[in-house]
Structure 1
């Protein structure tokens, strides 16, 4: 339920995106619709307008019984939040039971529900969960009222997702493509570029890259394949910023699969084919997070292989490049197997 005074185009677009994710949305514009739609047999979560709160704090409130508020100590970092007493401010998230909700609805006349609910919860002795100051400084809890706060919150979402392993990758995807995607992601999110469009672009570019490889221009083809894999990584980051898990099905393997075809086309003999098969196994393990305790530098991904082959091509040592890539792929698979814990 979203409390609104005027339904703007931005709100309509947000509702469309939520509905596309399977979330039922109700726009509340007056007291009558609030009384009609609010649940009477369960607690509700109150989220302040513009609040961005990390999932862990939602979990903390879910573990409480009855009314609870997420609060922060008064400081320069917490200045955008609403003050609730001399030493603390409301951090934008609260758990409200039905008695307090409907009692407040019966009491107030003007449409200022959120702050009235918070004040009623404070007066009723609601449990307070204090947010560490580091969460405010690093954007894991923020009140977004401008682009600077939005960018900080977006970076916090992506860094948290990377730490939790939602998009744990190896090789060049971890050391180069990941940082570049985190840098470019907020700008694309501000432009409302869907992750699926970027993913389709990466697949199309990977397909186009096969043409110069067929025509005998391996340098151009390998470079385009690297760019395609960067776009695929960027699509994953956009999914994370939208709080969606990056895909792990067939669509996630199209761009890397085309890159493996490019590996086969960039050389002669059977060695490129064997290398592509080994890289395919590593790609599946990397995407499905089945690499055990192997460190990112131990995972020889398609992007890393393309970089090695491109460097070998530029130095005139194509055959040596394939030999090095084959040894690295074998070593990578060995590291993944040996680093797995016994079940």
Structure 2
């Protein structure tokens, strides 16, 4: 059953009385934006952000979320909440400044009825709100519509999140206890300063995030692992994925110049580096819980690599290789490779090292021929291993 999400974004951060916890920078975006993407990825079809004041940072976050197809709205009062909240679906409640691993968010999203994510009382759980003598609320709750609207009717000027949690405790809501290791390692945290947010971001990026994209060839075995190593470091430096993607495209265009000047191997090496940067950009999108693009922007760097092969080959075989490789590229990016294993899929990142090796031995023409045969075999493997 679908559910909505309510995110709190009104508490001030420790860095500045004018700043909000929700506006802290986290994983390449604001914290509340990251929370919204977590909820959407877990299945929330509507997201409401409770605010006391609408700041430019919150407005921009809503614009970015809306541009990515996530239904989100800012709510300033209980009247608006009553109007916007669904009466036939549960609510996923996220505390102000809470960072909870995606596994916990998805587990809570899969439940039905009232439930609380809790942690045992300890020194590590001190920042969280106490709910009884032995446990504290870990920043995530599943609230049924009856409890939500029953609480709104009597809430007045109280804190909605904490009032809902206390009402859920009184109603005997199911409790899901967070392991202490999650607290110690930063997979569940409550932050109120940029320094804390940065520390937790390091834990989140170190743990790794993946959306299960199927990749083939050298992209799967070499470029993607390298991107997983580079991505977290760039994320901590707050480098946007779009800047890395633009750099990949620019480097791919620059690589065509040495190829035109007959410095073919230099150009091929630059094209391979361009493909690596494109993979890093995808990794940064994954860490920020954004879906890597599947439109023309995603194919810009690989298409420049194909153009470089055509320029270097200067023959109809090179053109035919680029066309077939382009088809394989689209199939790989759109997950249309059936049940073929990664090593069976020939990609631009696979062909470039082959051509570099052939060029080192002065056998570039033969390298194009071998690449064409490999592509034909790859297409055959995809067809033969496909299932209805």
TM-score by length of 1: 0.80
Instruction: Tell me, in whole angstroms, the C-alpha distance in 2 between the residues paired with 1:241 and 1:168.
Output: 17
Indicate the SS of the match to 1:49: coil
Q: Does the 8 A contact of 1:173 with 1:301 survive in 2?
A: yes
Instruction: Tell me, in whole angstroms, the C-alpha distance in 1 between the residues paired with 2:283 and 2:123.
Output: 31
Deviations 1:33-55 (A, max 9, x none): 65665555543221122334455
Tell me the residue number matched to 1:2: 49
Instruction: Tell me, in whole angstroms, the C-alpha distance in 1 between the residues paired with 2:357 and 2:156.
Output: 71
Q: Does the 8 A contact of 1:182 with 1:237 survive in 2?
A: yes
Tell me the residue number matched to 2:334: 288
| Counterpart among 258, 267, 275 of residue 321 in structure 2 | 275
Q: Rate the CA distance shift 1:258–1:37 in 2: closer, same or farther, 3 A.
A: same
Count of aligned pairs = 337
Structure 1 unaligned spans of 5+ = none
Q: Is 1:297 aligned to residue 347 of structure 2?
A: no
Q: CA deviation at 1:126?
A: 0.7
Q: Does the 8 A contact of 1:299 with 1:332 survive in 2?
A: yes
| Counterpart among 161, 164, 169 of residue 122 in structure 1 | 169
Instruction: Tell me, in whole angstroms, the C-alpha distance in 2 between the residues paired with 1:35 and 1:19.
Output: 22
Deviates more, 1:13-22 or 1:250-259: 13-22
CA RMSD after TM alignment: 3.4
Instruction: Tell me, in whole angstroms, the C-alpha distance in 1 between the residues paired with 2:366 and 2:124.
Output: 55
Instruction: Tell me, in whole angstroms, the C-alpha distance in 1 between the residues paired with 2:326 and 2:79.
Output: 58
Q: Does the 8 A contact of 1:30 with 1:111 survive in 2?
A: no
| Counterpart among 70, 84, 89 of residue 131 in structure 2 | 84
Q: CA deviation at 1:306?
A: 1.0
Structure 2 unaligned spans of 5+ = 1-47
Instruction: Tell me, in whole angstroms, the C-alpha distance in 2 between the residues paired with 1:257 and 1:305.
Output: 13
Tell me the residue number matched to 2:199: 148
Q: CA deviation at 1:95?
A: 1.7
Q: Does the 8 A contact of 1:155 with 1:182 survive in 2?
A: no
Q: CA deviation at 1:222?
A: 1.0
Deviates more, 1:168-177 or 1:180-189: 180-189
Q: Does the 8 A contact of 2:248 with 2:301 survive in 1?
A: yes
Deviates more, 1:270-279 or 1:212-221: 270-279
Q: CA deviation at 1:286?
A: 1.0
Tell me the residue number matched to 2:92: 45
